[in-house]
Amino acid sequence: MIKCIALLLAATCAQAATHPEIDRVFNTLYDFQFGESQSLARAYIAQHGEDPMGHASLASVLTFSEMNRLQVFSKDMFKDEKVSGASAKRVAAEARLAFEDALNRAKNAGAQALKIDPRDTNALLALLIATGAERDFAALIDKRYKDSYYAAKASQDYALRLQEAAPELADAWFTRGFSEYLVGSMPAVLRWLMKIEKVDGNRQRGIEYMAKCAQDGRYLKAFAQMMLATIYQKEKRLEDSRRMMESYSNEHPRNELVRRELAKMPKS
């Protein structure tokens, strides 16, 4: 009887980490419909301001939106040499302020929830997403790599805690895989300096971890697919890259950038 109650409580905690409204935020985010996605996130926050997931999702929207404006996806990820030099422009001041506000609110709300329950899966997932956005904003937009490293460490910590509390939630695998691949891609001297818990710098393991999220993730699934498509292209695994891009495009057909990149890829 006690075992059944424990299993029921665990299932309830895992279920609490999912929200249909937040699903719509991320679905439109990965469609690159940023205005719609931001409106959905702000509407959720207006109704559930205490929930860190609303603020974390808004931080993600603002990060992706700015990355798209600066052509980070086209130029840095897909290596499109035809794009303009927009990525050299500075981040818009209003975008930075909005991002920092959403990030801080996510962190504060998540911290409050964890004071009540250190195994709160909703808070852990929100903090994983928020610090992941912080990592990406610092590295890919601001080029502040030291700050990105500290955010990556924090995101890894939340990933490990989330997997301990709810191992069935696959989004944590993206953070773990990203950290593993990132450290493994660095020169040996930097790899020795970058200490992240349970990260050895094994790039193949990083790919395998991200693939778990690309298969079964919820909020970070499409991001894992995009990252894997980029990694596979770099490693000349063109069929695997195309497979990831097709999966992304099938689930997010309004994303014109991904459709264009997919059209450029040779078919076997």
Total structural domains within the chain: 1
Residue with tokens 């000349």: 236
Q: pLDDT tens digits, residue range 173-184?
A: 999 999 999 888
Q: pLDDT tens digits, residue range 44-66?
A: 999 999 999 999 999 999 999 99
Give every CB contact of residue 1 below 8 A, 6+ residues apart in sequence. none
Secondary structure of residue 21 in the 3-state scheme: helix
Residue 15: pLDDT band with limits 50, 70, 90: very low
Q: What is the pLDDT of residue 83?
A: 46
Task: Read off the CATH number of the domain in which 38 is found.
Answer: 1.25.40.10
Look up residue 154 and give its amino acid.
Answer: A
Q: When comparing pLDDT for 47 and 15, which is higher?
A: 47
Q: pLDDT tens digits, residue range 220-252?
A: 999 999 999 999 999 999 999 999 999 999 999
Q: Give long-range contacts, CB 8 A cutoff, 24+ apart: 15-20.
A: 16/120, 16/121, 16/122, 17/53, 17/121, 17/122, 17/124, 17/125, 17/166, 17/169, 18/218, 19/44, 19/51, 19/53
- Say whether pLDDT at 81 is over 70: no
Q: What is the pLDDT of residue 12?
A: 38
Domain span at residue 257 reads: 2-264
Residue 200: pLDDT band with limits 50, 70, 90: confident
Q: Which two tokens stand for residue 93?
A: 């001041």
Q: Express the helix, strand and coil content of the chain in percent, nearest 5 each.
A: 75, 0, 25
